[in-house]
Amino acid sequence: MQENAPGAKKNFYLTTPIYYVNDIPHIGHAYTTIAADVMCRYKRMKGYDVFFLTGTDEHGQKIEQSASAKGLTPKQLADRTVVNFQDLWKALGISNDEFIRTTEDRHRRTVQAIFSKLLDQGDIYKGTYEGWYCVPCETYVPESSMGDDKTCPDCRRPLQKMQEESYFFRASKYVDQLLAYYEKNLKGVMPKSRYNEIVSFLRSGVRDQSISRTTLKWGIPVPGDDKHVVYVWFDALINYVTACGYLDDPEKFAKYWPSVHHLVGKDIIRFHCVIWPIMLLALGVNPPVSVFAHGWWTVEGEKMSKSRGNVVDPFEMVERYGRDPFRYFLLREVPFGLDGDFSEAALVGRINSDLANDLGNLLNRTLQMIDNFCGGNVPAESEPGKIEQEIRELAARTVDDVDGKISDFAFDEALKSIWALIGRGNKYIDETMPWKLAKEGGEEALNRVLNTLYDILRLSALLVAPFVPDTASRLWDQLGLEGNPAELSIDGFAWGERIPGQKVKKGKVLFPRIDLDQWRREKAARDNAKADPSKAEPEAVPEHEETVEVEAFKAIELRIAQILAVEEIPKSKKLYKLNIDLGYEKRTIVSGIKEFFTPEELVGKRIVVLANLKPAKLLGVESNGMLLAVGDSKKTTLALLTPDKDIPLGSRVS
Ligand code: MSP
């Protein structure tokens, strides 16, 4: 990666792709965002002023179609799904500085301003577009790359022949300028294989791009011609400048844009390494310093897809294994840039070996010895011997090596390098046998060893902080240090620096070993339950209520009703207003089931209602009753109670 120009301030701007809101977040989304987070955390620890952006891509046909299938407006769908992404970033400890949604006003204004500028300068013109269009991929497919059966080369779904009036972006005009840019910026696209791919694609020529649609409504209107909406990719790419203040905050733009880097998956590099830089060149703005394209995850050898039912839910992984192990695994397991295969077994393997055995043990053994031999006091600094000198040199090399590797997005290699230092620490204990030194009265030698181990751990905490921030801070705490390593400077590390009277604070084991037999049994049970939910482990024995007389039950008036209509309640994520028919009367009830059902799943359903519940007002809406539903203890699913035969509305349940 290239650094800022000499003398320039150390700024660093990194983006993730903005994610489509027609889907729930999966491991692929988590991967890019975690990698970006590690990079940004690292740069902050190296003294950079960092701007880290992520967000959501909310326009286009895909979103419009998904929303209509769910009986929602596209904006309603986006408002619902965006929360899943924002919640996931919290669960994964993502430190983004901003979150952009393409439906925001600042973005609409920026897209329209850019469109108008390019139109005025003649780089956008009106024409007719005819071609084979892939709706799921939102892209026209050139005849040369579609299959004989007229299917999309990427998703294999049938293409549709489309013809429409369209605005075109004069991309062809800037190809030579972009080639010249890449010739000078050999890391403008990474890894190298992708660079070569892009350069040869550019050499084969780029056609002008159709950048507006008349066939859908859900998009940013073309200024002055609102029969057209701006094509979703043209709109989406602009998010990177919107959030950086292109239109509204020139100072911010001047500060961060010269240091912008994009992180993307390999499937979207043409948009990022051809179309986007050309758009920027046309605007007179410099192309990104680098675009890094990472590989794709398969799951236990298979492509991840909803129909295969093998989509890895990052929330589930975090809940089961913790966010740090998940973050560590994704970046350690596979060289960034190559494809990789995800399996829980491999994740568990890494937890037991790298995290529990290597890092956890080094901490445990060291603290135990400082406790046993020095009463918990970190021994005073002592002169290094030959072996300690060699360790210090290794540590210094590690710091440099990690810097080079992370700057080149080689996260796995950076981790390998850190773990080599950790491994050296464990080996050093075996070589020096401090327990023997303690017995034989070699106090000075013992101090030297414990001191060195303490500093290996101190440095390791700093180096692992971008990858596993919670672990680093627990480690720091157990070393008896103040503050949070993530907020410190890596370059500020100095051997032997001690606070007088410093004591270690042995705490909970960093990573308890996972018992493999038990884990296998639990995994098999989970897999069975997934294949056949009726075989799921029963819920834990619930706490029972006091027994009641039958009269108490009789006082409860449960009746059959039918849902007639479902309305949103403004600002409520959980509640719906339901109009129900009890046969003898119609009523409104408010129900907290919005997270589990779309309106069209509910309308027409026969349900059981507690009809004599005292009326109550919820968010200003009067509710006259309560529907009966049952959920699992983890609140991941909810089922409505319905009669299994047609029964007249209003019938009493007994
Ligand atoms: N909205 C566009 C990006 C616009 S950026 C201006 C988009 N969104 S996406 O939600 O479909 O995908 C976002 C990212 O997830 C892409 O970088 C893609 O490569 C990545 N992944 C999707 N599935 C993946 C895997 N199975 N493995 C790794 N990453 C994958 O594209």
CB neighbour list of residue 653: distance below 8 Å, 6 or more residues apart:
558, 559, 560, 608
Name all residues whose Cβ lies below 6 A of ligand 1. Answer: 17-20, 28-29, 31-32, 57, 236-237, 239, 264-265, 267-268, 296-297, 304
The residues that bridge with 587 in the sheet, in sequence order, are: 580
The residues that bridge with 558 in the sheet, in sequence order, are: 610, 653
Which ligand 1 atom lies nearest to the CA of residue 266?
19
The residues that bridge with 131 in the sheet, in sequence order, are: 162
Buried b (16+ CB within 10 A) or exposed e, 14-26: bbbbbbbbbbebb
Residue-level pLDDT at 4: 46
Residue of the CA atom closest to atom 17 of ligand 1: 265
Whole-number Å distance, alpha carbon 161 to ligand 1 midpoint, is 26
% of the chain at pLDDT higher than 70: 96
Which ligand 1 atom lies nearest to the CA of residue 19?
10
Whole-number Å distance, alpha carbon 281 to ligand 1 midpoint, is 25
Quick one: pLDDT band at residue 7, thresholds 50, 70, 90? very low
SS (H, E, C) 262-314: EEEEHHHHHHHHHHHHHHHHHHCCCCCCEEEEECCEEECCEECCCCCCCCCCH
Give, in order, the Cα–Cα distances in Å from 203 to each of 154, 188, 289, 305.
Answer: 22, 16, 20, 35
Cis-peptide into 191, omega within 30 deg: yes
Residue 539 has pLDDT above 70, yes or no: no
Residue-level pLDDT at 125: 97
What gap in Å lies between CA 99 and CA 85, rounded to an integer?
10
Residue of the CA atom closest to atom 19 of ligand 1: 265
Whole-number Å distance, alpha carbon 31 to ligand 1 midpoint, is 10
Segment holding 651, helix H or strand E: none
Work out the number of other CB atoms within 10 angstroms of the CB of residue 148.
5
The CATH class given to the 345-537 domain equals: mainly alpha
Mutation probe of ligand 1 site: the residue of 32, 85, 272 with most atoms within 8 A of C-beta: 32
Residue 360 has pLDDT above 70, yes or no: yes
CB neighbour list of residue 464: distance below 8 Å, 6 or more residues apart:
359, 418, 471, 472, 475
Identify the CATH number of the domain defined by range 550-640.
2.40.50.140
* pLDDT mean over 569-598: 90
Residue of the CA atom closest to atom 9 of ligand 1: 19
Quick one: pLDDT band at residue 634, thresholds 50, 70, 90? low
What gap in Å lies between CA 603 and CA 635, rounded to an integer?
23
Quick one: pLDDT band at residue 156, thresholds 50, 70, 90? confident
Residue-level pLDDT at 530: 79
Structure tokens at 209: 């791009």
Residue-level pLDDT at 595: 82
Whole-number Å distance, alpha carbon 17 to ligand 1 midpoint, is 7
Which ligand 1 atom lies nearest to the CA of residue 17?
5
Residue of the CA atom closest to atom 6 of ligand 1: 237
Structure tokens at 64: 């419009």
Structure tokens at 88: 């996931």
Residue of the CA atom closest to atom 23 of ligand 1: 28
Instruction: Determine contact, residues 283/211, Cβ cutoff 8 Å.
Output: no
Which ligand 1 atom lies nearest to the CA of residue 57?
1
Tell me if the domain spanning 11-294 has CATH number 3.40.50.620. Answer: yes
Whole-number Å distance, alpha carbon 19 to ligand 1 midpoint, is 7
Average per-residue pLDDT for the chain: 92
Whole-number Å distance, alpha carbon 197 to ligand 1 midpoint, is 19
Helices (H), 46-98: 61-69, 74-91
Give, in order, the Cα–Cα distances in Å from 169 to each of 162, 175, 289.
Answer: 19, 13, 23
Between residues 128 and 543, which one has the greater pLDDT? 128
Residue-level pLDDT at 633: 64
Whole-number Å distance, alpha carbon 54 to ligand 1 midpoint, is 12
CA 229, 230, 231, 235 torsion-angle sign = negative
Quick one: pLDDT band at residue 538, thresholds 50, 70, 90? low
Residue-wise pLDDT for 481-502, tens only, equals: 999 999 999 999 999 888 878 8
Residue-wise pLDDT for 74-114, tens only, equals: 999 999 999 999 999 999 999 999 999 999 999 999 999 99
Quick one: pLDDT band at residue 163, thresholds 50, 70, 90? confident
Residue-level pLDDT at 537: 57
3-state secondary structure of 229: strand
The domain spans of the chain are 11-294, 345-537, 550-640
CB neighbour list of residue 143: distance below 8 Å, 6 or more residues apart:
132
Give, in order, the Cα–Cα distances in Å from 364 to each of 323, 344, 349, 510.
Answer: 21, 26, 20, 9
For the entire predicted model, the pTM comes to 0.81
Quick one: pLDDT band at residue 549, thresholds 50, 70, 90? confident
Whole-number Å distance, alpha carbon 205 to ligand 1 midpoint, is 26
Instruction: To the nearest 10°, report the CA torsion of 538, 542, 545, 549.
Output: 20
Tell me which residue has tokens 């290996």.
456
Residue 591 has pLDDT above 50, yes or no: yes
Residue-wise pLDDT for 28-48, tens only, equals: 999 999 999 999 999 999 999
Whole-number Å distance, alpha carbon 25 to ligand 1 midpoint, is 10
Which ligand 1 atom lies nearest to the CA of residue 29?
15
What gap in Å lies between CA 565 and CA 265, rounded to an integer?
42
Residue 195 has pLDDT above 80, yes or no: yes
- Max distance between CA atoms of the chain, in angstroms, equals 93
* pLDDT mean over 134-150: 81
Residue-level pLDDT at 500: 77
Residue-wise pLDDT for 224-276, tens only, equals: 999 999 999 999 999 999 999 999 999 999 999 999 999 999 999 999 999 99
Which ligand 1 atom lies nearest to the CA of residue 20?
10
Whole-number Å distance, alpha carbon 617 to ligand 1 midpoint, is 43
Mutation probe of ligand 1 site: the residue of 14, 16, 19, 291 with most atoms within 8 A of C-beta: 19
Name the CA radius of gyration of the chain, rounded. Answer: 30
Residue-wise pLDDT for 416-451, tens only, equals: 999 999 999 999 999 999 999 999 878 899 999 999
User: Are β-strands 209-210 and 160-169 bridged in parallel, bridged antiparallel, or unpaired?
Assistant: antiparallel
Work out the number of other CB atoms within 10 angstroms of the CB of residue 653.
16
Q: Fold match between 11-294 and 345-537? A: no
As a residue count, the chain comes to 654
Mutation probe of ligand 1 site: the residue of 267, 276, 280 with most atoms within 8 A of C-beta: 267
Mutation probe of ligand 1 site: the residue of 20, 24, 66 with most atoms within 8 A of C-beta: 20
Whole-number Å distance, alpha carbon 28 to ligand 1 midpoint, is 7
CA triple 262-265-270, angle to 5 deg: 75
Residue of the CA atom closest to atom 8 of ligand 1: 19
Structure tokens at 477: 């705490």
Residue 413 has pLDDT above 90, yes or no: yes
CA triple 464-468-471, angle to 5 deg: 90
Work out the number of other CB atoms within 10 angstroms of the CB of residue 609.
27
Whole-number Å distance, alpha carbon 551 to ligand 1 midpoint, is 58
Instruction: To the nearest 10°, report the CA torsion of 332, 334, 337, 338.
Output: 180
Whole-number Å distance, alpha carbon 573 to ligand 1 midpoint, is 26
